[in-house]
Structure 1
Amino acid sequence: MLKQLQKIKALVAAKKSGNLGDFAILKSDLLGAKVAPETAAKLQPLAGYHPPIDLEQLSQYPPGTFGREYANYMQANHLQPLNVSPELEDVARRNVFALRYVVTHDIFHILLGFDTSYAGEIGVLAFAAEQNYSKSLKISVKIAKWLYPLLAPQQTKLIFANLKKGEKIGKRAGFMLNYRFEEHWQEPLEKLKNSLGLV
């Protein structure tokens, strides 16, 4: 119980500090997202891997590169990369799934071509669920399938279209959560998508 209270205090402190990366990984750690054993094994080589993402630096890359397109997307949507503080290194090492899922979420938006609307979010969620990262994601898709059309009725048609599209891409593509995207910022976005089987 004491450990859970400490986690809650850390979560509240991260939210107040405005560090969304810390908040996201602490929230995932607190909720205890269960990862599929085969996923955990594939992610083990990435324990402790979370290089900081600098949008200003990425925005200097040539147009059409993965890094530049990611920076443009983040800035256009007023989003910040979910960087994790060195102080949370133990959580990052212990919960590699939470770390990679948090860090790659917006990257998946770029690679899959989904925006930040409810329709876009369900596309990314369906992709991740189809990749079999975690049972909780499959449950989240089932909930979102009914909740999102209620929250955004004008997007209903697109929500179900993106749901199918995300599932289809998730089946076709290789396992992507263990890919070191941060080492490919200078690569042309279309080339990267091709190499990952996303086109």
Structure 2
Amino acid sequence: MPSETPSWWARLRQLRALRAEPSRIGDAAVLQSDLLGARMREEVRAQVAALCARSDCDRLRLRLDHAALRRSPPGTFGRAYADFCAANAIVPATISDAFDDDTLRHNAAIARYICLHDMFHVLLGCDTSIPGELRITAFILEQRYFRAGAALLALLALAGPLLRPHQFREILKNVRIGRDLARRAPLLLAEPLEDWLAHDLAAVQQRLGLPATV
């Protein structure tokens, strides 16, 4: 007999337990998105599913050796990514082997974004400040990852500057840059970014239609 789907309350208790374990923050993020009903557009889900088809869940459970990446030649994508994480004391979110495969596949596009978010920072040339994070937010909304992307983008343009009134110009600039980069690039979420870590960062950015400096 098929296993019974856990109740919403049981999954909420599971989420609380996962959030208490730093090593399973990626699991918690995926489950939280699922509980909140976050859904990416069908086209986005299909492209991510196609990318992951041959590797099952491997591209959703990235296992990257950051110590090795930091020994990569300067100028490579992997070195820039590892240095970015180290400089900002970031431990990239990963999905553990203990996380349910069916739930993971159901939320594959969201899981992949959770794992790749810090690579987006490197490729889009932005830091972890509020303006930098809003550059990425504008990028993913312009690429229409989510069903309500257009409405959320309009809300971001209106509410973003209110988050940091003293950074009004910087926020608007980053939102504009994020949208512009999104129009140039392919669907970044469905690109095999982890396969290009040994490549020159500028070459990867060029390949994706992203200028090395913005």
Do the two structures share a fold, i.e. TM-score over 0.5?
yes
Output the CA distance in 2 between the equivalents of 1:198 and 1:102.
21
Whether 2:31 is the aligned partner of 1:26: answer yes
Q: Which amino acid aligns with 2:36?
A: L
2:95 is matched with 84
C-alpha distance in 1 between matches for 2:148 and 2:114: 14
Which runs of 5 or more residues in structure 2 are unaligned? none
Quickly say closer, same or farther: Cα 1:69–1:116, change in 2 above 3 A. same
Q: Distance in 2 between matches of 1:11 and 1:137?
A: 26
- Work out whether residues 138 and 175 of structure 2, in 8 Å CA contact, stay in contact via their aligned partners in 1: yes
Q: Which residue of 2 aligns with 1:57?
A: 68
Partner of 2:141: 129
Once the 2 structures are TM-superposed, how far is the Cα of residue 140 of structure 1 from its aligned partner? 4.0
Unpaired segments ≥5 residues, structure 1: none
> Is this contact kept in 2: 1:36–1:135, CA < 8 A?
yes
Deviation at 1:142, TM superposition (A): 3.7
SS in 2 for 1:35: coil
What per-residue deviation string (whole Å, max 9, x for no partner) do you get for residues 127-155 of structure 1?
Answer: 11111111244444444434442332222
Aligned-pair CA distance for 1:115: 1.0
Secondary structure of the equivalent of 2:7?
Answer: helix
Q: Quick check: 2:93–2:115 contact (8 Å CA) kept in 1?
A: yes
| Cα distance in 1, alignment partners of residues 6 and 81 from structure 2 | 40
How many angstroms apart in 1 are the aligned matches of 2:150 and 2:116? 18
Indicate the residue corresponding to 1:10 in structure 2.
14
Aligned to 1:35: 40
- 1:94 equivalent to 2:98? Answer no
Number of aligned pairs? 199
Shift of 1:77: 0.9
2:125 to 93, 97, 113: 113
Q: Which amino acid aligns with 1:53?
A: L
Structural RMSD (CA): 1.8
User: What is the SS of the residue equivalent to 1:53?
Assistant: coil
CA positional deviation for 1:189: 0.5
Percent of paired sites with the same residue: 34
Deviations 1:13-52 (A, max 9, x none): 1110013211211111111212211112111122512321
More displaced, 163-172 or 44-53? Answer: 44-53
Looking at structure 2, the residues matched to 74 and 31 of structure 1 have their Cα atoms a distance apart, in angstroms, of 28
- Secondary structure of 2:71 counterpart: coil
Q: Is the 8 A contact 2:138 2:156 kept in 1?
A: no
Per the TM alignment, residue 5 of structure 1 is displaced from its structure 2 partner at its CA by 1.3
Change (3 A) 1:76 1:137: farther
What TM-score results when the alignment is normalised by the length of structure 1? 0.92
Q: Where does 1:149-188 land on structure 2 (aligned, <5 Å)?
A: 149-188=161-200
More helix by share: 1
Instruction: For 2:41 and 2:14, locate their aligned partners in 1 and report how far apart those are by CA, in whole Å.
Output: 26
4+ residue runs over 6 A deviation: none
